[in-house]
Structure 1
């Protein structure tokens, strides 16, 4: 096995050009000069080399300046994964404004909350998508938004895209260059709202420094694996922006945009475009495995797979490893700009199932107690992270920002973990998901991993429910396609794997579980189901 730090150190000289960049736009300018004709972005039939991408970004940036967008102003984009997302992001951050993505899956109350909280001055909006009238919806609640720019036929007070772009003619080269030169690496580039699994989402403010540090670090160890990728994840998620697009962007590779997660389409595009890099998750592995034509073999087309977002059962990993594609289990959060750890190159399926590896170069990770004191190897405590990849804070929430960091500058992740003797870290669960049953600490993820080893279980989620004797016990939600699977079979299966007090007392079975936009299981939705059932 080879440590990530060793790989990164060996590649630093090779990527000296990119490592000299400190702001996001610096990368685009560098690629346009060094790799002008290399493909940078593909959306349907449209294929843009870096020099053309840079020209289009310049045009959008000029129009933003002409529309009065000032440094620090928020600019939102509501589109599926597409070139529109990438252009508006790169243009916005290049002039010192702050970009944020809006997910087409959101409902009106969610849009209302985000528009009220972030108060964007301008919103780019796909007017209609898959039969839904987003332009009319967002305008109905966005009275405080100064400008809506229509991506499609304009409705209401939305400005036609051509009209908006024409404004940019009044902004000369010197004005645009001055705006870009004034951007400081510590300036906020993006606000990414947390998924809200434990309450209302908070806007994590990610600076140019943090986003660039993360992308350039990943560039040095992922290297040629970043030659190309597909962007299908929601644009409001740190995984789509940083783990997928910014990493490939740092390399100078090509990004193929596709508007939704469609396994057949992903497979076709992968072969046609010879894609090299895939960011996956336990959910996506399970989805591929469920395909009738041995879908996991499709993953063999890639040159690099990184996965995270939850614990992955070894039984699910083993056939993916058999494809021969180099794989790494990684860990990160919105607040860390995505990936901050990785398993060693050549790690076994068992290591990748049990751990998320070690800290990436530049990052520090420790396991600590509530007082912020480091715990010894083998002890369970909070995973805490320090380094250049961490967020600046939460937008408009100074108290929450103060609570998020320890006195010595470590980010409190809210995740529980253990440092092992071999230097790898194990994910135990969310601090707020742990519950007590009869005096025992119960970590749902441990039970979920055991359940996921059953061949008929596609995915599992465990939540606490009240109990008259033990205070709380586990209830397991099971996604399965096997109508014969029942609670007794799973209890028998778990008896050889878990202590009796950890085995869920009740089970429910369904075809699939609800997911958040980031493809994690929506435990808030499952919690509401349990509460409604108990109330009835």
Structure 2
């Protein structure tokens, strides 16, 4: 891929100097570094799983499971079909699917064919879809029929070789027909659309199965993903994740987690985070493939009632989510009828986990939320709490093996523990750069080769990292820094509050003022009562000047609150 930017600096696996404070806090069985020689390709991980665990369940969707052997067979059919269509090594293939059974099969097929995956959020508008497909120069698009109307609207502006239409029941056998009927006619989830040259996914599988795919010499320095940043802070950019970046992060996660797994081999990960999101992709899909576990695919996590029913009838040992998802589940009817007795751990990332949510989850499930941290640009995991914590820590834990972090002032000076500054990261999981944007890559990289995360953090004496906030979300009130996370944390501690989002808005006197948007749990809660509560817990300049009650907050469909959207709404109305 000649347009792929090269790493701004060598991201080796060795961390130096060896006296990083976090090493003293590592669990005894966790190494300080992973072995660079053991980092292969994602194709190696897939192939080994199909050979070592052929009869184990690889994924479950709507109550139906497929084995690793079946995953390999169907994935090979996708790879063969793509090659028959003229896919060349490095060509981009877009996947616009929620967590349905076809997703891991298509993922496997694209990578085994030598392609590069472009993950697309199915809820994108035609404008957003057009931008991403044009920017990535994708040749093929696999899309769920529920979002066919979006593709139809965007199609005149797209240069795609072929569109493949997937149904939610594909690969589910006889049960798939029922799933498709319910989706189309009961839930009315499929808008009418016309894509004349498209092909149904079933036809791809049958055509591809007639011929074995050609083996492609994929190396660990080839691009596996163009993973587009969420665009919550500006224009969306494609992070070029090489096979070595993502495979290294899978090994880092394994080194951190495996010592706590015990003897059992049949782990099942509740996969509610969308697989097109880097957290779900690495921690739920690829990591489970590496250890021969099963992904319990939740196609629509926003359907909390349906999600709870799935949990009630499923056996699971691992769980991943974001703060808003754990909060919604903790307050959902029927959650106490779920059997959490086999749950080994529940991990959270994507946004700050709030203490009130963590406490409620611990009380319901018996397990604390183990918080981690990462970004699209870091494949994603940088830091994670130890898995043997008894209570929620409020930090993002320790840098993973082979990961180095520093906290820096605006001039690049490395700050001592306890001081606030920008968190910067170096490690084998850090991207090669931004797709076709060498200027952005340079801007995001320090002179000594660390990736600048844009997050404000402090390093604790024992090596734990605590995120304070996004640099771009910080509010400046009369020269004082206010971090929205801190104010939100106080707001949600009020018993009448379900969710809160805090932003800064321009003010002639103070420069900016704090404004809070609140979803009430208690419909009788009034702004004065809530402001009084804030005054008891926050210094004066941090107390919201304005409090607005809302039915919902704008979120990404991973559940991250979009503060930028709230700011844009205000700007539009003025």
CA drift of 1:134 comes to 4.2
Q: What is the match of residue 144 of structure 2?
A: 126
Moved over 6 A (4+): none
Question: Which residue of 308, 311, 317 corresponds with 1:270?
Answer: 311
Aligned residues: 520
Task: Measure how far apart 1:58 and its partner are.
Answer: 0.9
How does 1:342-491 map onto structure 2 within 5 Å? 342-349=384-391, 352-353=393-394, 355-491=395-531
8 Å contact 2:323–2:351 — kept in the other structure?
Answer: yes
How many Å separate the matches in 2 of 1:162 and 1:370?
54
1:208 Cα deviation after fit:
0.8
Gaps of 5+ in 1: none
Q: TM-score, normalised by structure 1?
A: 0.90
Matching residue of 2:90: 72
Shift of 1:292: 3.7
Report the CA distance between 1:315 and its aligned residue: 2.5
1:201 paired residue number: 236
SS of 1:116's partner is helix
Any conservation in 1 of the 2:330–2:361 contact (CA below 8 Å)?
A: no
Q: 2:330 aligns with which of 289, 303, 308?
A: 289
Whether the 8 Å CA contact 2:425–2:450 is kept in 1: the answer is yes
Determine which of 147, 150, 156 is the counterpart of 2:165.
150
Q: Distance in 2 between matches of 1:470 and 1:500?
A: 13
2:104 maps to which residue? Answer: 86
| In 2: Cα distance, 1:41 partner to 1:293 partner | 25
Residue 231 of structure 1: how far off its partner (Å): 2.6
CA deviation vs aligned residue, 1:276-312 (integer Å, no higher than 9, x gap)? 1111221112112322456597656522111123333
Contact 2:359–2:368 (8 Å) recurs in 1: no
Q: Label 1:265 to 1:8 Cα distance change in 2 as closer, same or farther (>3 A).
A: farther
Please give the secondary structure, in 2, of the residue aligned with 1:117: helix
Following the alignment from structure 2 to structure 1, what is the Cα–Cα distance between the partners of residues 271 and 154?
Answer: 24
Q: Secondary structure at the match of 1:402?
A: helix
How many angstroms does 1:4 deviate by?
Answer: 4.6
CA contact (8 A) 2:345 2:369 kept: yes
| Conserved 8 A contact 1:121-1:145 | yes
Q: Which residue of 2 aligns with 1:321?
A: 362
Of 353, 378, 393, which aligns to 1:336? Answer: 378
What residue in structure 2 maps to residue 183 of structure 1? 218
1:136–1:156 contact (8 Å) kept in structure 2:
no
Question: Residue 50 of structure 1 is aligned with which of 51, 68, 71?
Answer: 68
Q: d(CA) in 1 for partners of 2:252 and 2:423?
A: 21
SS in 2 for 1:198: coil
- The secondary structure found in structure 1 opposite 2:309 is helix
The 2-side partners of 1:39 and 1:275 are apart by 12
Q: Which has the higher contact order (CA 8 A, sep 6+)?
A: 2
Note closer, same or farther for the CA distance 1:271–1:484 as it changes in structure 2 (3 Å cut): closer
Cα distance in 1 for residues equivalent to 2:268 and 2:390: 26
Pairwise CA RMSD? 2.7
Query: What's 2:343 paired with?
Result: 302
Q: d(CA) in 1 for partners of 2:340 and 2:381?
A: 21
Q: What is aligned with 2:256? A: 221
SS of the residue 1:220 aligns to: helix
Q: Is the 8 A contact 2:77 2:207 kept in 1?
A: no
Offset at residue 511 of structure 1 (A): 2.2
Maintained 8 Å contact 1:78/1:123: yes
Distance 2:425 2:566 in 1: 29
**Secondary structure of 1:204's partner?**
strand
- Distance across 2 between alignment mates of 1:10 and 1:370: 29
CA–CA distance in structure 2, aligned partners of residues 296 and 285 of structure 1: 16
